[in-house]
Amino acid sequence: MRGVVFAGLCPHPPIMIPEIGGAEVKKVSKTVAAMEHLAQSVLRLAPDVILMVSPHARIGMNEMTLLDASSVSGDLARFGRPDIRVERAVCRDTLDIVEEAAKRAGIGVARAPQGEGALDHGFLVPLYFLDRAGISAPLVCFSMSLLPQEHQVRFGRLLGEALDSLDTCSAFLASGDLSHRLTKHAPAGYSPKGREFDEYVVGALERMDLDSLLDIDPGLVEAAGECGLRPLSMLAGLCAATGLSLDRLSYEGPFGVGYAVASFQKADPLVALAKRSLETYIRDGRRVALPKTGLPDTKAGVFVSLKVGGELRGCIGTFAPTRPSIAEEIREMAIAAGTQDPRFPPVNEDELETLSYSVDVISPPEAVDDETALDPKVYGVIVEKGQRRGLLLPDLEGVNTVAEQLFIAKRKAGINPSDHDVRLYRFRVERHREGAR
């Protein structure tokens, strides 16, 4: 594996660290769980270097600051816990790549040869979760500039392109909170625009419509009192350049500050949508917003299959399109596969991390005259008699002959397997599996 394999948006409230937040951590349990998931994803992908941007590092109007030292360190003494400390080696080779991308994006660069105490809480809080997961990859840490968002997006694109061309594996983490003005007791005071801003940003993330971050009203940004939009804009550019897809999104704002955690990985966008659809439905009881880009602009029948350890856990689909778009078809079939397959109990939240997904896009079925036109490794089959219909997907483990394929399809339809007075149809599938692009 090479290039950029992961990107994440990480909030940084110290209160979500149990040693600091104490009982208050329960109020941000969704955020903590999402950060733990993010850390486990990074651990599994094992990047050679982790690049991080914090909005609380030294900021320049027209320049960003790179922490240029053999190592960086810091602790949370400011929040009463000097014992919570991080020290990491710096990947010096990657510093030059970051500087070149920034300059090409029209952003100046200052190198700060800081070591001890260089890491602020914008770095340290996400790193706390990486530490607990056992991740010790070298870092490259930098701040943002105050230049307009288009500079940040362009920097992210150029950085992603440069990193994707390397033989090394890298991850990018954008640290930042959303509005600080969600409630009357919020740290920056209250503004009704705070909720509007957060809904806009979270909606853009969920739809993978990251380009719309450039269209956000500057007045809305100012009223929201945010600190994460510029780091998020860098992440948006990087995702666009590297083809990363949204894996998981969490949001809550119990203390008057919006905390969004978003994980992006290299994944087949159809499979990513199926996964996110079921997870969101099980966790939050709602349907995800459909992505605006990345999926075919067509209608098609779709089957979504779920497995645990290679064993089937659910499969639901339709051989012909029943909804306005393939994206909506995938969303609904994923939810149905996890909750409506009569062979299995509904998936519960504890199972979600164990599931693997596949999405089969069905070509229009064609009638065939006899069994000689079938091939269970190439074609799926539909058998019909009267109102009874049975379907079997192609290339299934343990189904090696036409006779086996027809036997199972007839049995599913409630047709006598020895009955040859049936109509036959064949179809192809475009199979999308987890781990593919």
- Residue 344 has a pLDDT of 97
Q: pLDDT digit string (tens) for 133-154?
A: 999 999 999 999 999 999 999 9
- Residue 224 has a pLDDT of 97
Range of lowest pLDDT (18-32, 74-88, 283-297, 407-421): 283-297
Torsion of CA 67, 72, 73, 79, to 10 degrees: 20
Average pLDDT of the segment spanning 148-168? 96
**CA proximity to 204, closest of 194, 191, 216:** 216
Measured CA angle at 261 (ends 257, 267), to 5 deg: 160
Calpha distance 25→385 (Å, rounded): 59
Which domains, from first to last, does the chain contain?
3-266 (3.40.830.10), 301-361 (3.30.700.20), 366-432 (3.30.1490.150)
Sequence length of the chain is 437
CA distances, 355 to each of 311, 334, 430 (Å): 10, 12, 21
DSSP states of 83-132? EEEEEEEB-HHHHHHHHHHHHHTT-EEEEE---TT---HHHHHHHHHHHH
2 band by pLDDT with thresholds 50, 70 and 90: confident
Average pLDDT of the segment spanning 317-342? 96
Q: pLDDT digit string (tens) for 235-263?
A: 999 999 999 999 999 999 999 999 999 99
Q: pLDDT digit string (tens) for 20-35?
A: 999 999 999 999 999 9
- Backbone dihedral angles phi then psi of residue 50, each to the nearest 5 degrees: -120, 125
77 band by pLDDT with thresholds 50, 70 and 90: very high
Collapsing DSSP to helix, strand or coil, 342 comes out as coil
According to DSSP, residue 60 is labeled: B
Calpha distance 22→262 (Å, rounded): 24
**CA proximity to 49, closest of 140, 115, 114, 129:** 140
- Residue 171 has a pLDDT of 98
Q: pLDDT digit string (tens) for 172-212?
A: 999 999 999 999 999 899 999 999 999 999 999 999 999 99
- Residue 114 has a pLDDT of 61
Q: pLDDT digit string (tens) for 363-380?
A: 999 999 999 999 999 999
Average pLDDT of the segment spanning 321-328? 94
- Residue 58 has a pLDDT of 86
Please state whether 46 falls in left (phi above 0), alpha (psi between -120 and 50) or beta.
left
Average pLDDT of the segment spanning 220-227? 97
- Tell how strand 311-318 and strand 366-368 pair up: unpaired
Q: pLDDT digit string (tens) for 110-138?
A: 998 765 458 999 999 999 999 999 999 99
- Tell how strand 3-10 and strand 259-266 pair up: antiparallel
Calpha distance 316→333 (Å, rounded): 6
Average pLDDT of the segment spanning 207-221? 93
Torsion of CA 206, 155, 120, 220, to 10 degrees: -50
Calpha distance 353→346 (Å, rounded): 15
Chain position carrying tokens 């199979």: 431
* Whether the Cβ atoms of residue 11 and residue 259 lie closer than 8 Å to each other: yes
Reading the block at residue 225, the tokens are 């009192």
Average pLDDT of the segment spanning 217-237? 97
Q: Residue 172 pairs with which residues in a beta bridge?
A: 7, 51
Across the chain, mean pLDDT equals 94
437 band by pLDDT with thresholds 50, 70 and 90: very low
- Residue 112 has a pLDDT of 87
Spatial CB neighbours of 318, under 8 Å, sequence gap ≥ 6: 301, 302, 303, 329, 333, 362
Collapsing DSSP to helix, strand or coil, 171 comes out as strand
Average pLDDT of the segment spanning 161-172? 96
